[in-house]
Structure 1
Amino acid sequence: MRAIWKGAVSFGLVNVPVRLYSATENHDVQFRQVHAEDGGRIKYQRVCSLDGEKVAYSDIAKGYETEEGQMVVLTDADLAELPLSTSKEIAVDRFVPAEQISPLVLDKVYYLEPDKAAIKPYALLRSALEESGRVAVVTVAIRTRVTVAVLRVHEDTLALQTLLWPDEVREPDFAVLAEKSEVTDAEQAMAAMLVESLSGDFDPSAYEDEYEQAVKQLVEAKLAGGEIHEPEAEKEESAEVVDLLAALQASVDRAKKARGEAV
């Protein structure tokens, strides 16, 4: 694994230097849009929706669309004034009971690896969380965006899980649930029996992504049967190089322009 962030956990006067790693990886089946006749990848051009003209990479800006459909163009200078953080600190705000954190607000999860010289304070924080049954609510800047997260113990490792903001969680406002539905004692008892009959411990290895396995088997069968297209790699590579060079040149020109130099 490759660390995506390096900083320190601070609680009280204790600092624990750590490295941050993504704890999960996406194994969803990914398809590409291709030409059915020859398997060539479908490419898209950058075209303005108003005038239909192709747009150079250097002329593309960020736009924020309002709820009314209005578009506000934001320049690099505008974005540079936003309150972004470059702090490399995971600051513990408080320790709260784990059950107070709703599963609905949990987002991305990361592992924290301590520096060799920080194993003892790392273990101290880990044991403190385990014995207290609490999690640490922290703030951290990942890729310049400050977010709220929780520190919890996963096996022998400290895991950091970012939280969604309150306005990102929808309210389950379903009118049908407001209607009263009487459940009889017999129905309640039968439901309890069903729960008891299906009770057990959770074993993640008992579940498999059958769709992914089926897709892989289908692809392997087509490969074995010679059903494969060999697109012209040279053309695609050259197109990508041109786009990359154009992007690099646009970046250089923009940097020179910002410094007042001739482009």
Structure 2
Amino acid sequence: MRAIWKGAVSFGLVNVPVRLFSATENHDVQFRQVHVKDGGRIKYQRVCSIDGEEVPYSDIAKGYETADGQMVVLTDEEMKSLPSRSSKEISIEKFVPSDQIDPLLFDRSYYLEPDKTGLKPYVLLRDALAKADRMALVTVSIRTRMTLAVLRVREGVIVLQTLLWSDEIRRPEFDYLSEDTHATDKELAMASSLVDSLAGDYEPDEFEDDYSEAVEALVSSKIEGGEVKETPAARPEETEVVDLLAALQRSVDKAKAAKSGGASTSEIRQDEAEEQPAQPAARQAAAQKGSSTGAPKKAASTQTTAKQTPAKKSTTKKAATKKAATKKAATKRKAS
């Protein structure tokens, strides 16, 4: 077991260092909600009931709904201002007769284990409780909120049981039980005879959770029969960063292909245009306007220059040939 709280029991002028352990555990069968088709687990999202948008945990606050349906939002700062206690002390207020604590008030149960240094005062408190046949009424703050609890002895160990507040116990309001109706003497005698015939001692191991055992047997039979779904790994959620990296990689690959003569520049631009997601009307119009005046014109100019380069070299060569012929003719006239 793992300790969930550490502190000390204040017993007059004596402090008993203790650790708190959960005394109970729930063995109810736990089912998962899954998709019948493939066995995938069902995910739940935090969605705002007004705008339908998913809300990140950082934007979620505590809200108090009034009786008329109004909502009062409480911030973290306001919650911190509320009275709370973080004391590591179990303070004994008084010792009360055991029969004065209605079992309906019991909430959660914990074992108290003493530290090695506090073994002697722990045993002293345990034996005093057992001899007095009383429960120690205490106040304790386990999770910031102060609550009432009792200490009692069970099998040589001090048990702490938290109590519900008195106003948390509902009062039964059954009008028909308020009538002056009682069983007859004959009926009561027969009922008493039935009670005597079923009298016995409580043996915890006498009863078992047949539902849990039946579920486990059913699951085992399905496993043995091969009725098990091989649930594939959940599909990872794509993010904008992953998409950006993929787009950059495609751009690099196409640029290399164009450089090696595998694809023309115009083909690359056409592919990139096809990969662009649909744009809103306003952005699309702006993009079209820019294409008629901006960067696309510069690209077209680049293409024109690239196409005209061979023609320019040819004109220069002709000019050089003509100049050489003129110079040769002039030399010939001068010689004659």
Conservation of the 8 A alpha-carbon contact between 2:23 and 2:109: yes
SS class of match (2:193): helix
1:6-49 per-residue CA deviation (whole Å, 9 max, x = no partner) reads 00000110100000000000111111111011111111121100
Shift of 1:126: 0.6
How far apart are the structure 2 equivalents of 1:82 and 1:229? 50
Shift of 1:198: 0.9
Which one-letter code corresponds to 2:89 in the other structure?
A: E
Q: Does 1:114 align with 2:126?
A: no
How far apart are the structure 2 equivalents of 1:182 and 1:100? 27
Shift of 1:119: 1.0
How far apart are the structure 1 equivalents of 2:199 and 2:53? 62
Which one-letter code corresponds to 2:164 in the other structure?
A: L
Shift of 1:5: 0.1
SS class of match (1:10): strand
Q: Does 1:139 align with 2:136?
A: no
Shift of 1:194: 1.0
Corresponding residue number in structure 2 for 1:97: 97
Corresponding residue number in structure 2 for 1:124: 124
Corresponding residue number in structure 1 for 2:190: 190
Shift of 1:146: 0.6
How far apart are the structure 1 equivalents of 2:41 and 2:111? 36
1:194-247 per-residue CA deviation (whole Å, 9 max, x = no partner) reads 111111110111111111111111111111111111222354xx56xx9xxxxx
4+ residue stretches of structure 1 with deviation over 6 A?
Answer: none
Q: Does 1:211 align with 2:185?
A: no
When you count strand as a share of all residues, which structure comes out higher? 1
SS class of match (2:34): coil
| Pairing 1:9-24 to 2, within 5 Å after superposition | 9-24=9-24
How far apart are the structure 1 equivalents of 2:218 and 2:149? 41
| Pairing 1:151-190 to 2, within 5 Å after superposition | 151-190=151-190
How far apart are the structure 2 equivalents of 1:210 and 1:75? 47
How far apart are the structure 1 equivalents of 2:22 and 2:155? 16
Corresponding residue number in structure 1 for 2:39: 39
How far apart are the structure 2 equivalents of 1:60 and 1:102? 39
Corresponding residue number in structure 2 for 1:7: 7
How far apart are the structure 2 equivalents of 1:57 and 1:117? 44
Equivalent residue pairs, number: 238
How far apart are the structure 1 equivalents of 2:206 and 2:45? 45
Unmatched segments (≥5 aa) in structure 1:
243-263
Which one-letter code corresponds to 2:215 in the other structure?
A: V
How far apart are the structure 2 equivalents of 1:111 and 1:48? 42
1:74-105 per-residue CA deviation (whole Å, 9 max, x = no partner) reads 11101110111110000000000000000110
Shift of 1:182: 3.2
How far apart are the structure 1 equivalents of 2:233 and 2:37? 17
Corresponding residue number in structure 1 for 2:88: 88
Shift of 1:187: 1.1
**Bigger relative CO (Cα 8 Å, ≥ 6 apart):** 1
Corresponding residue number in structure 2 for 1:229: 229
Normalised by the size of structure 2, how large is the TM-score? 0.69
Normalised by the size of structure 1, how large is the TM-score? 0.88
Which one-letter code corresponds to 1:122 in the other structure?
A: Y
Conservation of the 8 A alpha-carbon contact between 2:40 and 2:234: no
When you count helix as a share of all residues, which structure comes out higher? 2
1:97-131 per-residue CA deviation (whole Å, 9 max, x = no partner) reads 00000011000000000001111111111111111
How far apart are the structure 1 equivalents of 2:116 and 2:62? 42
- Which segment is superposed worse, 86-95 or 222-231? 222-231
How far apart are the structure 1 equivalents of 2:206 and 2:176? 35
